[in-house]
Amino acid sequence: MSMNIKLLDCTLRDGGYINDWKFGRDNLSSIYERLADSGVDVVEIGFLDDRRPFDADRSIMPDTSCVEKIYGAARKRPPMTVGMIDYGTCDISNLQPCSESMLDGIRVIFKKHRMYEAMDYCAQVKKLGYQVFAQLVSITSYNDDELREVIGLANQVKPCTLSIVDTYGLLDPTRVRHIAHIMDEHLDRDIAIGFHGHNNKQLAFANTLTFLEEVAQKRDVVADGSLHGMGKSAGNAPVELLAEQMNDKYGKAYNIGPLLEAIDESVLDIYKKTPWGYKIYFYLCAHNEVHPDYVKQMQSKPNLSVSGLNEILGQIEPEEQKLLYSKDAGERAWSAYEREHYDDEENMRRLRQALLDKPAILLLGPGRSISLQHDRVLAYIQREKPVIVSINYIPDELPVDYVFATKPNRYLEMANKLLTRADRPVQIIATSNLTPRDTAFSYVFTRAPLLEEKESIADNSLLMLLRILKRCGVKELSLAGVDGYSDRDENYFDPKMEYTFIREQAMNLNRHVRDVLQSEYADMKMNFLTFSRYTDVQESYDAAL
């Protein structure tokens, strides 16, 4: 039997998750025609979803009659045009007979727990004359027995294709071979096997090639891809790369040029506005084999470090809720993590005890004045013997007892320097978005309550530290190197620490900090040892010196 290897493009459907399917009518037509020009075997034109009203600019439509309204004027059509239905979102009454429709086939996606009713629906679609693709969503949720069970249903219904759908990008080549082998062994020979990958682990392309190597020489297959990998979450295998590989290895003759033109004309502008592709958060979902909505849920929590998020995702239970998503399961995992890692009251009690009865407290910021007025600061230190807390940096020529760390990039810069100060140990007071490299932080405080609400720079480190010190009962302190913001590149003693966006917002930022100091810290005596845009510095100098 001669094997039939087909390439299916799903840009107009899977890619629609990026832009709510609003490609614009011109782009919809252009992409469709470019794909036809390339010789791609199957083009998926979007979703059929009766919950959505017809919109000529969108590739999601309530019934089959709408397909003609968008794509009917195409000057060239691919060998097969299909739409997709997420089982339960499009009643069978919204499907015309295939003979009256522009569609040749319909792909039906469904999860494991709905396999029986979904396969019955596939049988109804088939009776209307369509080529039916049964798409096994979240293929990794099936064990081997369950996979054989759904294959048995497919052997009864006889769809044209039964597809492996790696919805959450969990597969690797070894697991692809295993699943493909079971399907090839038990699925009737006249039913093709399809593969649809996602890039959460950057393996969609490799997994698709593995799939082809495993079964393409044995039976009919359908491999999915999309232009520039455009698709849900981390995206899909790039159809242009698959076309090239299939030309080289399987004797196909796809024209790559029209695919590249479609990318350049219609896809890159979307990518620039809303990029897709491999991201660390999608990887964490795949690594822990959980639904991506758990990440969205955790984004509303106090700013977690990446390793903290990874730990929470690994605690999602019970097992059956990992890929189905349950808000309650996410809340339970978050609560367990919070109980284990965050105890602000205990940290506050310990820090309060450490600062109790100290003769003076000095905060050191990284402003240029710390070097310009170095002698003044040093004289104060020698005279008052203060507890010294630096903010997001470690000065080279001044001693420090504590470092307040709030920014991952600043902590990275400080970590190696801390190792060289073995003669004078430095304790780290950190916010909860940081993860220690070698030893645990001395104190950790939940970041969210320390942030400024409705400000362009919410994580002003000085104000965050002052909130902690006020709760510790500190009534008086001195400050140096807290210069405020300038509209020129002169905010930090080290030019590498500059933020370009600050120049545009300098006056508003200074005003905000000044207002907060006057309103929230009026009862805390602050002595500014160096120049600062936050106060009347001359009066402060005189008081401090």
5-273 falls under which CATH superfamily? Aldolase class I (3.20.20.70)
Specify burial of residue 475 (Cβ count, 10 A radius: 0-12, 13-18, 19+): exposed
Which segments of 314-392 does DSSP mark as H helices, in order? Answer: 327-341, 344-355, 369-372, 374-384
Question: CB neighbours (10 Å) of residue 270?
Answer: 20
Q: Along the 545 residues of the chain, how does pLDDT read in single tens digits?
A: 347 999 999 999 999 999 999 999 999 999 999 999 999 999 999 999 999 999 999 999 999 999 999 999 998 999 999 999 999 999 999 999 999 999 999 999 999 999 999 999 999 999 999 999 999 999 999 999 999 999 999 999 999 999 999 999 999 999 999 999 999 999 999 999 999 999 999 999 999 999 999 999 999 999 999 999 999 889 999 999 999 999 999 999 999 999 999 999 999 999 999 999 998 888 999 999 999 899 989 887 766 778 889 999 999 999 888 988 999 999 899 888 877 776 788 899 999 999 988 889 999 999 888 888 989 999 999 999 999 999 999 888 888 999 999 988 888 888 777 766 656 688 999 988 888 877 889 999 988 788 887 666 678 899 999 999 999 999 999 999 998 887 655 544 444 544 444 555 777 888 888 888 988 898 999 999 999 988 854 444 444 44
Distance (Å, rounded) from C-alpha 485 to C-alpha 492?
9
Are the beta carbons of 431 and 464 closer than 8 angstroms?
yes
> Given the DSSP bridges, would you call strands 387-391 and 105-110 parallel, antiparallel or unpaired?
unpaired
Instruction: Give the global pTM.
Output: 0.71
The SS3 call for residue 404 is strand
Closest to 288 (Cα-Cα) out of 194, 381, 379, 200:
200
What residue spans define the domains of the chain? 5-273, 280-341, 344-544
